Amino acid sequence: MTCLRQEVLSKRRLDAFFSKRTLLIPVPNNPAATRSSVWVARRVALALKEAGLGEDVWAGLRRVISVERSSSAWMWERPTVQQHYQSLAVIASPRPPTDIVLVDDVITKGRTMLAAAMKLHEAFPNAAIRAFALVRTMGFVLDVERVFDPCEGVIRWDGEDAYRDP
């Protein structure tokens, strides 16, 4: 997290994506996670807040049903958007947020982020919702030119599945 903090503070590359009123919401772990397990998305959100890229971190999105992690499932057996959506719940908020950034450590196809955004939109229909991932998978890329390669993209929903670009 120190590298993320240093990169953000030294180059301010992410300022346009965040605002001073941004509420950072980490994508939740599975409910079966032990207290000793690290909630990486929360640690990333806290590092972003510490770097001045958000007003607060709120763990108001909870996973109430366990789903298999996409990173450990075969490509054709990864949880669907619907499975992720059904596994999530939003707890009552002290005040309705207007600017939300979902935070996760890794984005693969975007199913988890899309389901989380849908669940949050249902709870906070007037909020602007964006997503931030520390790492994005790139498929079968033969040559990675740069390790630090921030990008902006879109996750689309076609009614059946998520599609991430890039």
Between CA 38 and CA 46, with CA 43 as vertex, the angle to 5 degrees is 155
Q: Which of 87, 136, 72 is nearest to 109 (CA)?
A: 136
φ, ψ dihedrals at 111, nearest 5°:
-65, -45
Least confident of 11-15, 113-117, 129-133: 11-15
What is the end-to-end Cα distance of the chain in Å, rounded? 24
What pLDDT digit, counting tens, does each position of 62-107 carry?
999 999 877 677 777 889 999 999 999 999 888 899 999 999 999 9
Half-sphere exposure of 130 (CA within 13 A, CB side): 16
Residues 106, 133 contacting (CB under 8 angstroms): yes
Residues 26, 41 contacting (CB under 8 angstroms): yes
CB atoms < 10 A from the CB of 149, how many?
A: 10
Residues 136, 82 contacting (CB under 8 angstroms): no
Q: Is the pLDDT of residue 111 over 80?
A: yes
Domains and CATH numbers, the chain: 15-165 (3.40.50)
pTM of the predicted model as reported, rounded to 2 decimal places = 0.85
CB atoms < 10 A from the CB of 16, how many?
A: 8
**Residue that wins the pLDDT comparison between 32 and 155:** 155
Using pLDDT thresholds of 50, 70 and 90, give the confidence band for residue 35: low
**Residue that wins the pLDDT comparison between 20 and 63:** 63
Question: pLDDT exceeding 70 applies to what percent of the chain?
Answer: 84
CB atoms < 10 A from the CB of 50, how many?
A: 15
Q: Which of 95, 94, 100 is nearest to 113 (CA)?
A: 100
Using pLDDT thresholds of 50, 70 and 90, give the confidence band for residue 20: confident
